[in-house]
Structure 1
Amino acid sequence: MSNRLHHKSALVTGATSNIGRAIALAFAAEGAHVAVSGRSRERGEEVVAAIRAVGGKADFLPSDLDGSAPASRALADEAARALGGRIDILINNAGIYPSPSTPDTDEETFDRIYAVNVKAPFFLTAAVIPAMIEHGGGTVINLGSWIARLGIPIGAVYGSSKGAMESLTRAWAAEFGPQGIRVNAISPGVVRTPNPAETGVHPGDIMMKGTPAGSFGLPDAIAQAAVYLASDEASFVHGTVLDVDGGRTGVAVIAP
C-alpha cells in the first residue's frame, strides 16, 4: 500500500463484480474510504467485508441506477452521508451489455441501455460535481470501451453508449476543469475474471487475437489505471481516454 488516495473518499458504481469490484478493492488498498454501490446486497457486502478484513474503509450502498434523475440524486446524497459529507472521486462504472443485432434491438432494449449506461452517470455526475466544486476539487472517471472506436458486428447500441460516455468525458473536462474537477475515462479491452469451470475457447480470446497482449485482461489492470487517474500523479491529465486494452484499438500484430 502506498496510500496514494489517503484521506480521499470514492463512490464506485457497479462495484459488486468484475471491474467495479477491482476498483473498489484497489482504492481501499490505497487508503480511500469507498462507497460500494450496486444492486446485489450479497455481493456488495462481500466486497465491503474483503476491504474491511485488511483494515480498509468501505460501506455498501444498494442502488439500481435506472437512468432516472431521482435515482442518481438519491445515490449521490446517500454516498455523501456515508463518506462523511464529501465525495472526492466518482467512478461511473455501472453498465449493461445486451448485444442483439440492430434489426433485433427493440425500443425497450435501446432505451434501457442508454438509461443505464448514459443517463444514470450523466445525472449522477450532475448531482455530485457541485459539492466537489464547493469542497475545492475532485475527480470523475468514466468507463468507456474499446468498441466505442473499433466497430464490431455486435452490440451497436452498447458501443454507441460508451462512445457517448467518452464524449461526455471531454465535454465535462472542458466544463468543470477550470473549477478544479479532473474528468477522464478508461477504455478497457476485453476484461474478465477467469472461470476454472469454463471449457473451450472464450469469445474474448478470439476478440483479442492479433493484439500485443494476445488474450483478455484482468480487472486489476483497469483498477490500477483508475488509481493513477484518481491520484495526484495525474494532476495534469484532463479529458483523456486512457486505453487499457492490450493494444486492441491501436496496434495490429502480424502473426508469424
Structure 2
Amino acid sequence: MSVLSGVSALVTGGTSGIGLATAMALAGRGADVAVAGRDEKRGRQVVAAIAEAGGTADFIAAELHGESSARELARAAVARFGRIDVLVNNAGVFPFGPTEQTTEADFDAVFGLNVRAPYFLVAELAPAMARRGHGAIVNVTTAAAAYGAAGLGLYGASKAALVLLTKAWAAEYGPHGVRVNAVSPGPTRTEGTAPRGAALDRAAMAGPARRPGTAEEIAEAIVFLASAEQSSFVHGAILPVDGGRAAV
C-alpha cells in the first residue's frame, strides 16, 4: 500500500515549481491531491500528468490574498474530496529590491499571500483535522527567513512570520494529533527563480552542496513531513533543505 493511500491533500501554488513537484510526489505516494493555482490551463495539465502517472488530482482555481480567498479555497477542496488531511502552504511571492522602492501595495501583496492566506487556510482546515485526531500541515518558508540580506527584507520578514506561525500552530494543534512543520529551502532552480540566472548559482555556492536545489528535492522533504508513517514524532520543526546553507 502506498504510504499516503487514503489521504487527501491540498497544495497551494501547485501548478509550477516546488508546488507542482509536491503535488506530483504526493499523488505518486497515493494521496488524492487538490491542486490550487491561478492558471487554469497549467492546473489542468498538472491534473492530467498526475492521472497519466496513475494518481488522482483535481484543480481548483484560486487567487489567494487573504481570509476570504483562503477560506473559499479550503471549503472548495473539502467539497471536492470530503476532507483535507494534509495542507501544504506553498504559494508565495518572492520579491527582491530596496526597501525605499517598496510601496504599501507591494507590502500588502506579499503579506497577503505569504502570511494571511496560510493563516486563514489553517484557521479553516486545522480544527476539522483536530476533531478527527490527525492531520499534517507543511509550510514552505525560506533560508532567507533566518538571516538579513540586502533587498530581501520584505520577503524574508513574511517568511519569518510563517516560521513563527509553524511553531505556534504546532503548539496549538499538536496535542490534538495535527503535526505542523515547515521546510526551509535554500536557492532552488525553478521557472520562478530562472530570471536570477547566475546569481542563483552564486548564492548556492555558500552551502556545502555548492549547487542550487531542485523542486523535486524540496518536494521529497515535504512528503516526508506530510507522512504520519515517516514523521510521526516531528512537530514544530523547520527542516532546512538548503544544500547545507544553514550549517555555514
TM-score (norm 2): 0.95
What pairs up with 1:137-216 in 2 under 5 angstroms? 137-193=134-190, 202-216=198-212
Distance 1:40 1:245 in 2: 28
Greater helix content: 2
Secondary structure of the equivalent of 1:249? helix
Deviation readout 1:46-76 (Å, 9 max, x if unpaired): 1100000011000000000111x11111111
Are residues 199 and 157 of structure 1, via their aligned partners in 2, closer, same or farther at CA, if it must alter by over 3 Å?
closer
Distance 1:54 1:21 in 2: 14
Aligned residue identity for 1:122: Y
Aligned residue identity for 2:27: A
Distance 1:200 1:30 in 2: 32
Secondary structure of the equivalent of 1:103? helix
Contact 1:150 1:249 in 2 (8 A): no
Secondary structure of the equivalent of 1:158? helix
Deviation readout 1:198-235 (Å, 9 max, x if unpaired): 89952110111132111111000111001111112100
Distance 1:171 1:200 in 2: 33
Q: 1:168 offset after TM fit, Å? A: 0.3
Identify the residue that residue 226 of structure 2 maps to in structure 1: 230
Identify the residue that residue 219 of structure 1 maps to in structure 2: 215
Alignment gaps of 5+ in structure 2: none
Q: 1:194 offset after TM fit, Å? A: 7.3
Identify the residue that residue 37 of structure 2 maps to in structure 1: 38
Moved over 3 A (4+): 198-201
Distance 2:127 2:173 in 1: 10
What pairs up with 1:64-79 in 2 under 5 angstroms? 64-67=63-66, 69-79=67-77
Secondary structure of the equivalent of 2:211? coil
* Higher Rg of the two aligned structures: 1
Deviation readout 1:155-207 (Å, 9 max, x if unpaired): 21110000000100000000110011100000000112379xx8995211011
Identify the residue that residue 101 of structure 2 maps to in structure 1: 104
Identify the residue that residue 254 of structure 1 maps to in structure 2: none
Aligned residue identity for 1:215: R
Are residues 63 and 194 of structure 1, via their aligned partners in 2, closer, same or farther at CA, if it must alter by over 3 Å?
closer
Shifted more, 148-157 versus 6-15: the winner is 148-157
TM-score (norm 1): 0.92
Are residues 110 and 5 of structure 1, via their aligned partners in 2, closer, same or farther at CA, if it must alter by over 3 Å?
same
Name the % identity: 48
What pairs up with 1:52-91 in 2 under 5 angstroms? 52-67=51-66, 69-83=67-81, 85-91=82-88
Distance 2:111 2:89 in 1: 14
